[in-house]
């Protein structure tokens, strides 16, 4: 079946079929090879995109900028302080203005409805660079990394430890369901994903040959896992006050040597980053002082180990975002 994504939004993985995702991964591999070989690929010269960031970013912003530049695109970056969006101008009006000037719009921010609304009114492709609910561009980078490490995606056992109802937990569960992986959310009950989304993913997994499991039991949840994945315990946009309760809920779900030893023999460790694996950050140091913990969701030992593929994932953000830009704008 041929895949054509021209003009399509990229708002959440739920909107994409497994074939479309595979197509984007193939395209990403081609772009990665071209970049490595120094082959020019400014196929989209003459087009322009705008990047709207209401939350901070290193990887996503740089990936969109570098991918855009490599493809020959003009790229405009707008942060919360430098646009009218939200404060003086509605999402609907912003979408209609930017849609007249740009060939595509990236949005990182809060509610999923904002990016869905932008897409509804912009009349050009809109890409979700992370909302409170989903982080779809991260999913492509993670799948590409998994395929590079295992030579396959389907049938692998994937365990996510941590806040399983945040944007990463939701997106990974959907992605695993679509692509036929066996997904386990290993978390305290309070942080299990939304029941409706779980049901939807169970239906999708039935079709793909994957499975969905939720467990509070760390030994059960990590035994035989090919991939152990975690994310920060408090996400962007959450109030500082939640650190206390989140640390209490999640400290036993830290990815450490014991967890990795319980996983499959050649298991890998993944993290979307940024990560609190030491005290070399302002927040990391503050948490250490206030709560007496020097490593949070992952120990420095695991983060720095040979099993950790976090910087491959980070690099793959750029190759996969390039594929999304190309496929939807070409």
| Smallest separation (angstroms) from ligand CP to the CB of 130 | 6
Q: 204 near 176, Cβ under 8 Å?
A: no
| Smallest separation (angstroms) from ligand NVA to the CB of 100 | 31
272 touching ligand CP, by CB under 6 A: yes
| Smallest separation (angstroms) from ligand CP to the CB of 300 | 19
| Smallest separation (angstroms) from ligand NVA to the CB of 265 | 29
Q: Which of residues 128-157 bind ligand CP (CB under 6 A)?
A: 130, 138
Place of tokens 């209401």: 54
Contacts from 148-155 at CB under 8 Å and sequence distance 24+? 148/312, 148/316, 149/268, 149/309, 149/312, 150/226, 153/179, 153/180, 153/181, 154/179, 154/180, 154/181, 154/208, 154/209, 154/210, 155/180, 155/181, 155/182, 155/209
Compare residues 63 and 262 and give the one whose CB is closer to ligand CP: 63
60 touching ligand CP, by CB under 6 A: yes
242 touching ligand CP, by CB under 6 A: no
DSSP states of 49-67:
EEEEESS--SHHHHHHHHH
307 is catalytic: no
152 is catalytic: no
The β-bridge relationship of strands 182-186 and 211-215 is parallel
Question: Considering only residues 14, 97, 273, 330, which one is a binding residue for ligand CP as defined by CB under 6 A?
Answer: 273
* Nearest to 139, CA basis, from 150, 126, 151, 153: 153
138 is catalytic: yes
Q: Is 263 helix (H, G, I), strand (E, B) or coil?
A: coil
Q: How far apart are CA 257 and CA 267, in angstroms?
A: 12
Q: Which of residues 156-195 bind ligand CP (CB under 6 A)?
A: none
Annotated active-site residue in 59, 61, 108, 319: 108
Interaction site with ligand NVA (CB under 6 A): 130, 166-168, 231-232, 235-236, 272
| Smallest separation (angstroms) from ligand CP to the CB of 273 | 5
Question: Which partner, ligand CP, ligand NVA, none, binds residue 143 by CB below 5 to 8 Å per kind?
Answer: none
Angle among Cα 330, 67, 312 to the nearest 5 degrees reads 125
246 is catalytic: no
Question: Which partner, ligand NVA, ligand CP, none, binds residue 58 by CB below 5 to 8 Å per kind?
Answer: ligand CP
Segment interacting with ligand CP, rule: CB under 6 A, options 54-62, 76-84, 109-117, 118-126: 54-62
Catalytic residue ranges: 108, 135, 138, 231, 272, 317
């Amino acid at each position: 079946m041929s895949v054509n994504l021209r003009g399509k939004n990229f708002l959440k993985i739920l909107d994409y079929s497994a074939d479309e995702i595979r197509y984007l991964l193939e395209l990403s591999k081609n772009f990665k090879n071209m970049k490595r070989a120094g082959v020019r690929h400014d196929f989209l010269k003459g087009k322009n995109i705008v990047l709207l960031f209401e939350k901070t970013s290193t990887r996503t912003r740089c990936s969109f900028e570098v991918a855009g530049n490599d493809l020959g695109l003009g790229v405009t970056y707008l942060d919360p302080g430098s646009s009218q969006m939200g404060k003086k101008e509605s999402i609907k009006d912003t979408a209609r203005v930017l849609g007249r000037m740009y060939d595509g719009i990236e949005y990182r921010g809060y509610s999923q409805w904002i990016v869905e609304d932008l897409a509804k009114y912009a009349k050009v492709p809109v890409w979700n660079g992370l909302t409170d609910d989903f982080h779809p561009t991260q999913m492509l980078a993670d799948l590409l990394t998994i395929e590079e490490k295992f030579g396959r995606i389907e049938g692998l056992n994937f365990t996510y430890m941590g806040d399983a109802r945040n944007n990463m937990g939701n997106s990974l569960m959907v992605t695993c369901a679509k692509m036929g992986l066996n997904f386990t959310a290993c978390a305290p009950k309070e942080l299990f994903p939304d029941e409706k989304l779980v049901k939807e993913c169970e239906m999708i997994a039935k079709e793909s040959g994957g499975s969905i499991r939720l467990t509070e039991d760390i030994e059960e949840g990590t035994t035989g896992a090919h991939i152990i994945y975690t994310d920060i315990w408090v996400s962007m946009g959450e109030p500082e006050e939640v650190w206390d309760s989140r640390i209490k809920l999640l400290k036993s779900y830290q990815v450490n040597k014991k967890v990795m030893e319980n996983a499959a023999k050649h298991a890998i460790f993944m993290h979307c980053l940024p990560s609190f694996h030491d005290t070399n950050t302002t927040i990391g140091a503050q948490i250490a002082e206030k709560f007496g913990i020097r490593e949070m969701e992952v120990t420095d030992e695991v983060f720095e180990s040979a099993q950790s593929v976090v910087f491959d994932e980070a690099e793959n953000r750029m190759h996969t975002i390039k594929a999304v830009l190309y496929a939807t704008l070409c």
